[in-house]
Amino acid sequence: MAKIHYRVVEHDGGWAYKLGDVFSEPFASRQAALAAAKRVAIEQHIPGNTTHIEFQDEAGKWHEEISAGDDRPDADVIG
């Protein structure tokens, strides 16, 4: 099982949560960003439907795979 960490950080004059290099929308307070990050982390644990996905990697190459609905990461919030 993959482990992912959402981080709450200052961003664009406010607060945001981020995963890797991707930021959420801005929030006016740290508490609001933290609450949103906790909601997102909880949603990561909810199983979904098995589906076909396509995505493009950093080099511009397209990939196709099947994403199992019960293959959910272990998500938490730092900061």
Assess whether pLDDT exceeds 90 at residue 75.
yes
Cα 38 to chain centroid, rounded: 11
The pLDDT value recorded for residue 79 is 79
Given pLDDT bands bounded at 50, 70 and 90, which one contains residue 2?
A: confident
| Residue 60 domain boundaries | 3-78
β-bridge pairing 62-67 and 51-56: antiparallel
Q: State both tokens at 67.
A: 């994403």
Q: How many domains does the chain have?
A: 1
DSSP string, 1-57: --EEEEEEEEETTEEEEEETTEE---BSSHHHHHHHHHHHHHHHTS----EEEEEE-
30-58 pLDDT, tens digit per residue, is 999 999 999 999 998 888 889 898 989 88
Radius of gyration for the chain, computed over Cα atoms and rounded to the nearest angstrom: 15
Given pLDDT bands bounded at 50, 70 and 90, which one contains residue 72?
A: confident
